[in-house]
Structure 1
Amino acid sequence: MVIGGGLAAAHCVHELRKGGYGKPITIVSDEDVIPYERPPLSKEFLQGKKSVVDFQPFPEEWYAAASVSLRLGVAATRIDTSNKMVGLSDSTSIGYDNLVIATGCRSRLGGRASNMTGWDLPGVHTLRSLADSQALKEQLVDGRQLVIIGAGWIGMEVAASARSAGVQVIVLTPDEVPLAVAMGTEFGSHVARLHIKNGVHCRFGTTVSGIALEPESGLKVMTSSGDVPADLVLLAIGAVPNNELATEAGLEVGTGVVVDAQLRSSDPSVLAIGDIAEAFNTTLGRSLRVEHWDNAIRQGKLAAATILGREESYDWLPYFFTDQFDLGMEYVGDRAADDHVVLRGEPGSGEFIIFWLRKGLITAAMNVNIWDVNDHLRSLIGKSISADRLADTSLDLRSL
């Protein structure tokens, strides 16, 4: 049984059937749509370039043909590990031999905005689900003003998508550089320049105290530098893993559900995958929780391998990507904030690579608008190559 209807869940059940698993399989999801990928929600779907069937990894017919039962629009409410039963919101319950928790994350409504008022007002949106994206998409009308609170991945991707629809966009963030925590100031500064060039109004170093709805003038966002009027607001200040079921079931929980290198929780018959899994990575030698597309696919497949009795483990490096305006980026590795940064190419050209080094070893790499090199960059992680050689564009990248 799998709780959750995202990408990790879809690939888990697909790999189970592909591997010959013959026992009953049920997916329980509180959404009323079959499993789908989430990256398009802030990009292609929001821009009207894709419909939901374009980013469902397996069509609805596959689930029927593979004898996978879909319990959609029904939430799991309780896990009874002693009796291996899961209670559902429709007052039914389902037994399991192996349980996979893939409940993902929800939008953060606290954090640095923990004292924010008005987050639940009409016209204030979050973006985690297909329904969220559809609701936001319907409001992105040419000439309207969208205020985005937060300058992380979701916030900046939605800013780019909204500008393509002719929407006026203001980004509010207490940070001085967008994405600096995740990717450092070099890339973050490049993203800021790109957005400003495309008409996004970025107000860095700005804190938000609340949102209000005025009867005559509409929404306004109250900030440290004055009130900002808005036709609609997107709250994009991060995500929170849906740990509650696991916690109430007595499983070990840290930043997510704590699992080993085979994705088993403190109860060996219960696995956790995707955004919610705080999993031990054998290559890095530590546990981490990763909220990205590639990890969801790989962990879904790994959970199936574990259930099927294969000797596989969580050994790959984090990978993710983004698309904003004419920028396409891929990142692989495990950078730290104090790693040494090496630029290969000129960011002003729009095409460059960033390497991060720690004690002379490459820890991560990112390609920006340079394609078909990510696999090679992945192969360089952990190697000792001088900063001068990495930065020297006269040397063929593959010769390194």
Structure 2
Amino acid sequence: MRRIVVVGGSLAGVSALEELRARGFDGELVLVGAERHLPYTRPPLSKEALTGEVRHGPLALRESGWYDDHHVTLRLGHAATGLDSRERVVVLDDGTTVGYDGLVIATGSSPRRSALTSTLVNALELRNLDDAERLVRALRGARHLVVIGAGFIGMEAAATARGLGVEVTVVDVAASPMNRAFGSAVGQWFQRRHQEHGVRVLCSTAVERIEESSHRTLVRLAGGETLAADALLVAVGATATTAWLAGSGLPVGDGILCEPSLATEIPGVVAAGDVARWHNGTFGEPMRIEHWTNAVEQGRHAAATLLGDPRPFTSVPYFWTDQYDAKLRCVGRPSSGDDVEILAESGRTLVAVFGRGGVVSGAVCVNAPRRLAALRQAIAERAPFPDVVAGTLAP
């Protein structure tokens, strides 16, 4: 291969570039990114980046000189709009094309759109740097922030805004915050933390209608109550960014459907990060992961596959969320439908394990980092759930 193109100015994309050079690829590297910014890290956008002026510099994954040193041609500010796999070209939004011999797709995920908010002028999202800048400006003059969606981003932003002295109300149709990931036991623990800090959390609550006035946004709930918001954040999840691949021949279904090695059905094309759906042999099931560590590991693995080392990518997913002084660390693949047992709980700490099909599937540790390593090992070894609950495998 003489030229490898990476589509997606993401953590997975940069990790792939780095691995390609580390493995000795000395051909041309091209990075295509929809945003004008150099690639940056995103977790701080819902946390510390909201507490002051949002600046790209501290968030940048690599300084500009790194791309020069690694001989990476940058095509930033131009989204990919199509892929012609027969001609081996990526089509950009300005009508130009970029040819490739090898292709890494790392286009990540995009905010899920709500029919209630898609036409609103003042509804905010929080996925990229520009979104964070808009939210910071909105919070400066806001008395009341309404957040629709009690997932990770919604709850992190709620905690940050509350720390700034803003009144916050969170609304979600689910029974508890972060319910899809953890179910009610962990979600209710976090709901209590937020309530202790003055956040109003309205779960099992639907939004019926939203109206914009010149100064405020009125959010009418199904029960009849109306919330008057100075700022409205919509955080109802994300979907893999795959629309641009229509007609390319790549199979897509909640992400790009990949082989265990992260290769796709099209020769010379691999995928990594939020956009990749692959069969994880550790759990014996297909999955798509939208978290930082997975993006790094998959970016590197996809690069190796592209260069002729197509081993299966297996992992025990790991991610975190920080809300107030509660530092949640999660390993594995917990789900709201799993069995769950609380191993330890106090006003400040929580340790929960999840089981599916008789084996441990995941674990959540809040302010309990010492428990994490043993539980992660138990998950990797597919340990029996009853043994982990009984404490014979975890300290």
TM-score range, shorter chain: over 0.9
Question: 1:354 is matched with which residue?
Answer: 352
Aligned-partner Cα distance in 2 for 1:357–1:80: 43
Deviations 1:231-287 (A, max 9, x none): 010011111211112232121111111011111111021111111111121222221
Match for residue 105 of structure 1 among 97, 105, 109: 109
Name whichever of 329-338 and 99-108 sits farther off. 329-338
Report the Cα distance in structure 1 between the residues aligned to 2:150 and 2:347, rounded to whole angstroms.
23
Quote the Cα distance in structure 1 between the aligned partners of 2:213 and 2:247: 41
Verify the 8 A CA contact 2:82 2:246 in the aligned structure 1: no
Distance 1:142 1:372 in 2: 41
CA deviations on 1:33-84 (whole Å, 9 max, x unpaired) are: 1111211111121223984333322221111110011111111122111110
* TM-score (normalised: structure 2): 0.93
1: CA distance, partners of 2:385 / 2:199? 38
Label 1:49 to 1:184 Cα distance change in 2 as closer, same or farther (>3 A). Answer: farther
Deviation at 1:173, TM superposition (A): 1.2
Contact kept, 8 Å, 1:119 with 1:210, in 2: the verdict is no
Q: State whether structure 2 residue 13 is matched by structure 1 residue 15.
A: no
Higher deviation after alignment, 96-105 or 369-378: 369-378
Residue 233 of structure 1 aligns to a residue whose secondary structure is: strand
Deviation at 1:171, TM superposition (A): 0.7
Partner of 1:156: 155
The 10-residue stretch of structure 1 (279-288 or 315-324) with the greater mean CA deviation from structure 2: 279-288
1:44–1:50 CA contact under 8 A, matched in 2:
no
Cα distance change on mapping 1:391 and 1:161 into 2, 3 Å: farther
Distance 2:374 2:55 in 1: 33
Alignment of 1:215-364 (within 5 A): 215=214, 218-225=216-223, 226-346=225-345, 348-364=346-362
Tell me, in whole angstroms, the C-alpha distance in 2 between the residues paired with 1:248 and 1:133: 33
User: Deviations 1:309-351 (Å, cap 9, x if unpaired)?
Assistant: 22432110222110001100111112344432221222x3311
Contact 2:180 2:335 in 1 (8 A): no
Q: Which moved more, 1:231-240 or 1:303-312?
A: 303-312
Q: 1:283, 1:316 within 8 Å by CA — same for their partners in 2?
A: yes
Aligned ranges 1:185-196 → 2 under 5 Å: 185-196=184-195
Q: Does 1:41 align with 2:45?
A: yes
Question: SS of 2:21's equivalent?
Answer: helix
The answer (yes or no) to whether the contact 1:302–1:314 under 8 Å persists in 2 is yes
One-letter amino acid of the structure 2 residue matched with residue 297 of structure 1: V
Question: Structure 2: any 5+ residue segments left out of the alignment?
Answer: none
Moved more, 148-157 or 239-248: 239-248
Structure 1 distance, partners of 2:176, 2:81, is 40
Residue aligning to 1:82: 86
Name the residue aligned to 1:184: 183
Alignment map for 1:373-392 (pairs within 5 Å): 373-381=371-379, 382-384=382-384, 386=386, 390=389
Q: Which runs of 5+ in 1 are unaligned?
A: none
CA 385–335 in structure 1, closer or farther in 2 if over 3 Å, else same: closer
The answer to whether residue 365 in structure 2 is matched with residue 367 in structure 1 is yes
Supply the distance in 2 between the matched residues of 1:47 and 1:20 (Cα, whole angstroms). Answer: 42
Query: Any conservation in 1 of the 2:260–2:279 contact (CA below 8 Å)?
Result: yes
Distance 2:52 2:355 in 1: 40
Q: CA deviation at 1:141?
A: 2.4
Amino acid at match of 1:223: L
**Is the 2:104–2:303 contact (alpha carbons within 8 Å) kept by the matching residues of 1?**
no
CA distance in 2, matches of 1:285, 1:360: 14
Q: Which amino acid aligns with 1:45?
A: A
| SS state at 2:246 partner | helix
Offset of residue 300 of structure 1: 0.3
TM-score of the aligned structures, taking structure 1 as reference length: 0.92
CA–CA distance in structure 2, aligned partners of residues 304 and 85 of structure 1:
19
The whole-number CA distance in structure 2 between the counterparts of 1:289 and 1:272 is: 11
How far off its partner does 1:123 sit?
2.4
254 and 42 in structure 1: CA distance in 2 versus 1, 3 angstrom threshold: same
- Conserved 8 A contact 1:345-1:391: no
Q: Distance in 2 between matches of 1:332 and 1:77?
A: 35
Contact 2:54 2:132 in 1 (8 A): no
* Matched-pair identity in %: 36
Q: How many residues align?
A: 388
Superposed displacement of residue 227, structure 1: 1.6
Query: Aligned pair in 2 of structure 1 residues 359, 109: CA closer, same or farther (>3 Å)?
Result: closer
Once the two structures are superposed, residues 79-117 of structure 1 have per-residue CA deviations (whole angstroms, 9 ceiling, x without a partner) of: 11111011212232111011111111111113xxx3x1x
Sort the Cα spacing of 1:167 and 1:263 in 2 relative to 1 into closer, same or farther, 3 A: same
- Tell whether the 8 Å contact from 2:159 to 2:323 is kept in structure 1 after alignment: yes
The letter of the residue matching 2:65 is E
2-structure distance, mates of 1:125, 1:385: 41
CA distance in 1, matches of 2:197, 2:99: 53
| Corresponding residue number in structure 2 for 1:54 | 58
**CA distance in structure 2 between the aligned counterparts of 1:190 and 1:230, rounded to whole angstroms:** 26
Instruction: Give yes or no for contact 1:84–1:97 (8 Å, CA) kept in 2.
Output: yes
Deviation of 1:181 after TM superposition, in Å, equals 1.8
